[in-house]
């Protein structure tokens, strides 16, 4: 979380589906998205990684970023300066970026959501808000907001399903709603002990159906957007295809999330990027030199809080 690190370094080193898809963008928008992505990555790392010890340090680091994006402090050279520059040049609505910070702040001392509404409120902050800002940075109009929100929900629900085991064992967090767990007779101890049974499968299938609903809403919103907006959102649409495939893999495998981590390989990601371009051919294909950006974007990524 060195503030002197530049955005392109963070993005190049990231093992991320989103970083993989940025090659579709024109140079200036790709630079801006790399800066926004690096901001999201740093906010996530403040909460998740063991670089900082103790809640107070993590809260202070998040407070520093609130001051940076609201231009309340002089930025340090590197990513802070780049993010401020991106904000000046793109002029995105700052509220979603601030909501992302507060959503991630809730993970410092995370409490299990009681209801689906609680789970979706969290997903809105850490994923839909990312999507809203990303759409603005990529050059989409305000008409893309509903698409960004629905897709954010869908991607975060896939993350929650895929990362059930890692979240509870590595971070001590549970994102599945307590009411839903009670409905299917699944206990916290069942999650800790990785008890894979009929009740667990039914619970995960129940949440997967909600993810499918939001994928459907996102696709409906995408299809009525202008050609210009669809062009701008090619990386987001590729993300939709990648994550829906991860969801389909889990469904076909009956949600064996305690045994394996579901992912999509790079060649298939590339195919999804090309599929996302179908019907929106105004943008030129990336040059061969651009593909060097993908060399570190392998399939074993960590993508929570960056969906959008």
Sorted by where each begins, the domain ranges of the chain are 1-109, 141-282
Decide: residue 111, CB within 10 A, 0-12 exposed, 13-18 middle, 19+ buried.
exposed
Burial 40-54 (b: 16+ CB within 10 A, else e): bbbbbbbbbeeebee
CB count, 10 Å around CB of 269? 22
pLDDT of residue 308: 41
Tokens found for residue 161: 């399903």
Cα distance between residue 221 and residue 211, in whole Å: 15
Cα distance between residue 122 and residue 129, in whole Å: 10
Assigned CATH for 141-282: 1.10.600.10
pLDDT digits (tens, 9 = 90+) for 144-158: 999 999 999 999 999
Residue numbers of the chain with a pLDDT score lower than 50: 1-2, 279-302, 304-308
pLDDT digits (tens, 9 = 90+) for 28-62: 998 999 899 999 999 999 998 877 778 999 999 99
């Amino acid at each position: 979380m060195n503030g002197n690190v530049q955005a392109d370094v963070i993005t190049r080193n990231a093992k991320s589906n989103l970083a993989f898809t940025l090659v579709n963008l024109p140079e200036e928008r790709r630079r801006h998205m790399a800066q926004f992505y690096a901001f999201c990555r740093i906010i996530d790392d403040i909460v998740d990684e063991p670089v900082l010890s103790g809640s107070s340090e993590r809260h202070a680091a998040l407070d520093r970023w609130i001051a940076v994006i609201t231009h309340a402090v002089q930025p340090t050279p590197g990513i802070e300066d780049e993010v401020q520059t991106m904000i000046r040049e793109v002029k995105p609505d700052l509220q979603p970026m601030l909501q992302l910070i507060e959503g991630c702040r809730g993970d410092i001392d995370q409490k299990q959501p009681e209801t689906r509404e609680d789970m979706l409120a969290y997903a809105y902050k850490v994923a839909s808000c990312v999507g809203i800002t990303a759409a603005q940075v990529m050059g989409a109009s305000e008409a893309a907001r509903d698409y960004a929100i629905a897709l954010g929900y869908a991607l975060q629900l896939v993350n929650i399903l895929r990362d059930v085991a890692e979240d509870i064992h590595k971070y001590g967090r549970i994102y599945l709603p307590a009411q839903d767990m009670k409905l299917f007779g699944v206990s916290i101890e069942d999650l800790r002990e990785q008890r894979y049974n009929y009740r667990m499968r039914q619970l995960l299938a129940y949440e997967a159906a909600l993810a499918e609903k939001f994928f459907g809403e996102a696709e409906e919103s995408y299809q009525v957007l202008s050609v210009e907006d669809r062009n701008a959102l090619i990386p987001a649409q590729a993300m939709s295809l990648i994550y829906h495939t991860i969801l389909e893999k889990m469904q076909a495998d009956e949600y064996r999330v305690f045994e394996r981590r579901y992912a999509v390989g790079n060649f298939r990601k590339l195919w999804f990027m090309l599929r996302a371009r179908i019907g929106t051919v105004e943008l030129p294909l990336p040059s061969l030199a651009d593909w060097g950006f993908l060399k570190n974007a392998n399939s074993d990524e960590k993508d929570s809080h960056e969906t959008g």
